[in-house]
Each structure stands twice: as structure tokens, then as C-alpha cells.
Amino acid sequence: MGKVLICGQVLGFTENPFDVPVEDAARYERRGAVLVGDGRIAAVGTAEDLRAAHPGVEAVDYGDGLVTAGFVDAHAHYPQTAMIASWGKRLIDWLNTYTFPEEMAFGDAEYAAEIAARYFDLTLANGTTTVCSYCTIHPESVEAFFAEAQRRGVRTVAGKTCMDRNAPERLRDTAARAYDESKALLERWHGVDRLSYAITPRFSPTSTPKQLEALGALWAEFPDCPMQTHLSEQTDEIEWVLGLYPEARDYLDTYERFGLLGAGGLYGHAIHLEAREKDRLREVDASLIHCPTSNTFIGSGLFDMAGLTAAGHRVGLATDTGGGSSFSMLRTMAAAYEVGQLNGSALHPAQLYWLATTGSARALRMDDRIGNVAPGMEADLVVLDLTSTPGIAQRAARAGDIWEALFPTIMMGDDRAVRDVWVGGVRV
């Protein structure tokens, strides 16, 4: 694969903007360039310097286009693609009315492949180059998703969703099947190309203690795999969990006692946490995944971004499609800003953009590979048009710095703002 020089405005991060002043967190070149070769970023600097240093290299010049890391979606449900934006239910009713009937279809390998292809079409069109997704209980759903990701060269995390109670019979496995099928899929796909397997109990209400114990044992065997689940999304869900697990100290304890709490854990939502839960999640350095469009769409509550980041929690950002109402990480950033405002904390554009790139990569423990524009990183890039609509353009024209220019696209942008996408150094 030959080298290519991608020119435009270039934005990356050197520090976490939740920890240091935003002016110290980012690296921005007004006339910048990214040298890409063999699927990785070879150099970052000014366009003038890199053109001079590499005179024979093909250049793709995006002018005022903003070149950044591709977006990283840390929590999604690709099987819910076709039923996104289904009206009017809270979590438990929403699962029974819309989600479970749709997920039953994924035992059909052809249907799973069709939706997987559609899902990647939609996410790539929105600039998302890495996704962490739940599949269904069917191994076919995992095979289809990984096969499509592999075909496109996309970095992906996914796993078979395990449930053995409180779900329709056609969506239930057993503790033994959950362990055996998850292990077989893990051994087939984990670490192949750009694919990672995530051990995936849906959440405590749909798993018996025996199943959670089996999946905890599997995670202990393969501790380098992530483990993804849901935690404290809605108050009535928490009441349900505590009724099913009367011996548990709190919701998190239903995972902790079965070996499903650890540094590789990805805990979606995490809105209504008790003090003990916050302390334990921070102690083990687990990742909390903020899903703002889903939390507002299903009426779950407001994630405490300011409090949790100030306390040192590892936090990622996610669409949570199809409970989330958009495939766009731009829309997800906008929703995170709005949730922050309702909680009395205005997130800076640098913080929002960090969450959607480096922060989510860090939550997945992949920030050494993806989520930033820096030498050695995998060359997953998005190029944004910061004047993609008349409304955005007229506001960006008044901008005094890159953050003022970017913020209108965060708040009002959609797939029209995505000018180009590069995956593993290949323009897609």
C-alpha cells in the first residue's frame, strides 16, 4: 500500500480535556497534513513541511475540510438497525414490544448479513470507523457482523448476547450454551484482523445467576477480551434487578459476585449509580458508556458526566442504536451537550469531540491504536465539512477559533457534514 498525504485542517489530542485546560489538550494545524502508509499514520505536521519532506507522495487536499480521527461508538445494537426510532415506550416495554421480536429474525444468516451490511453503510456514512456492538443470542448474528466488518477492514468489537430468562423462548439460551457458543465464537474471531470479541450478558434481569457465573468464568479464562453489559439505565429496571437478586447490595453487585466486574468491563448507561457502585467501578478502572440519545429517547435519566469524570472514571460515548435515535456521533455529541446543560455543566466542544474519538477509544482500551491523529495510530480518519449547510456555514463564518467553527457542526451536523472517510488508510 503506497503512501498518501491527506491535507486540510488537522485536529488531534495530546491530553484529556477533562483533566487539563482545553488549549493544552489539543493539537491543531490550520494548514496541516497527515501522512498515511501501510494502514497507519506515519507523520502529522504542517502541509508545507510534509509536502517538502515527501515530494513524490500523492496528496489529497481537502482545503478547509477538518481531518480528525474517525468516530468511535462504544455501545450499539446492530440488530436494532431496522427498528430504530420506534415510538413511545420505556425500557422494559420497549424491549418486549420492539426489540425482542426483531432480534428473533437473526437466526436467519441471510437476514443477519443484510442488516450487518446496512448497519456499516449507515455508520461509515456518518464517519464512525470503530463500533462496539451487541449481537443477538444467535451465533449467526455474530458471524454475519464480524464477516462484514472484516470485509470492510473496520475495527470492531462485538459478541453474542446471552439471555436465559425473562425473554421470549426463541431468544433464550442456557448457561451452558451461553458459555460454549461464546467461547467458540471468541476462539474463532477474537484478534483476527481488526476484530475483538466481547463477552456479552445483556443485563442481569435476563440472565440467571448460573449464566452470569458461567460468563464470569469465561472472562476469567480470556481476560484480554472486553466484557459488555448494561447497568442502572432506569429506576424501574433497578427495582426489578434487586427483586431478582435480593441478596445483592446493589445492581453492580449482581455482576461483581459472579466475576463480571473488572478493568475490561464496559457498562452501558450507568445513570443511577449508588456511591458504592461508583467507588468500585473507579477502583477497578472499568469503563462507563454514556448513551445520551437513548437515555433521553427512552426517558432513562441524565448521566452525570461532570461528576464522574471529575472523580476519575473512564467514560466513553455511544449512540446505543436502536434505543438511541441516531447513527450519528455528531448527533450523539449534541445530545451529550444538552444532557450536560440539564445537569448544570456545559461541555466544551473539545470535551465532546474527545469523548467521540480518543475518549471512547480509551474506554475500549484501544487508544494506543485508534481515536487520535498521531504517528503510529491506525489510519481511521473522518474529514468534516464545517460549512455543510447554510445554517451551519453562517455561524461558522463568525468563528474566532477552531472550537467555535466546529461547534455548529457538532450541534447541527449530520451525514452531509461527512466529506470523506478513511478506514485503515483506505478511502471508503
Per residue in 47-67, pLDDT (tens digit) is 999 999 999 999 999 999 999
CB 282 within 8 Å of CB 257: no
Residue 368 belongs to some domain of the structure: no
What angle, rounded to 10 degrees, do the helices at 139-152 and 109-125 form?
40
Taking 50 as the pLDDT cut, the residues of the chain under it are none
In a shared domain, residues 49 and 81? no
In a shared domain, residues 359 and 256? yes
In a shared domain, residues 79 and 57? no
In a shared domain, residues 335 and 405? no
Which has the closest alpha carbon to 145: 185, 179, 96, 98? 185
Burial 214-228 (b: 16+ CB within 10 A, else e): bbbebbeebeebbbb
In a shared domain, residues 199 and 217? yes
Instruction: State how beta strands 4-13 and 26-37 pair.
Output: antiparallel
- Look up the CATH number of the domain holding residue 197: 3.20.20.140
In a shared domain, residues 46 and 89? no
What does the pLDDT read at residue 95?
Answer: 87
Which has the closest alpha carbon to 319: 63, 149, 75, 45? 75
Residue 107 belongs to some domain of the structure: yes
Which has the closest alpha carbon to 22: 366, 428, 350? 350
What does the pLDDT read at residue 13?
Answer: 98
In a shared domain, residues 220 and 232? yes
In a shared domain, residues 130 and 198? yes
Q: Is the dihedral of CA 86, 88, 93, 97 positive or negative?
A: negative
**Distance of alpha carbon 375 from its chain centroid, rounded?**
23
Look up residue 12 and give its three cell numbers.
Answer: 488531534
What angle, rounded to 10 degrees, do the helices at 139-152 and 175-189 form?
20
Provide the domain limits for residue 65: 4-70+373-427
What does the pLDDT read at residue 160?
Answer: 98
Domain boundary among 334, 363, 392: 363
Structural domains counted in the chain: 2
Half-sphere exposure (Cβ direction) of 121: Cα atoms closer than 13 Å: 8
**Beta strands across the sheet bearing 418-423:** 40-46, 26-37, 4-13, 58-69, 381-384, 418-423, 426-427
In a shared domain, residues 143 and 21? no
Per residue in 278-337, pLDDT (tens digit) is 999 999 999 999 999 999 999 999 999 999 999 999 999 999 999 999 999 999 999 999
Separation of alpha carbons 239 and 353, rounded Å: 35
Neighbours of 275 (CB within 10 A): 8
In a shared domain, residues 331 and 272? yes
Look up residue 367 and give its three cell numbers.
Answer: 487508544
Separation of alpha carbons 19 and 377, rounded Å: 22
Q: What is the pTM of this model?
A: 0.98
What does the pLDDT read at residue 326?
Answer: 97
In a shared domain, residues 347 and 409? no
CB 150 within 8 Å of CB 195: yes
What does the pLDDT read at residue 343?
Answer: 96
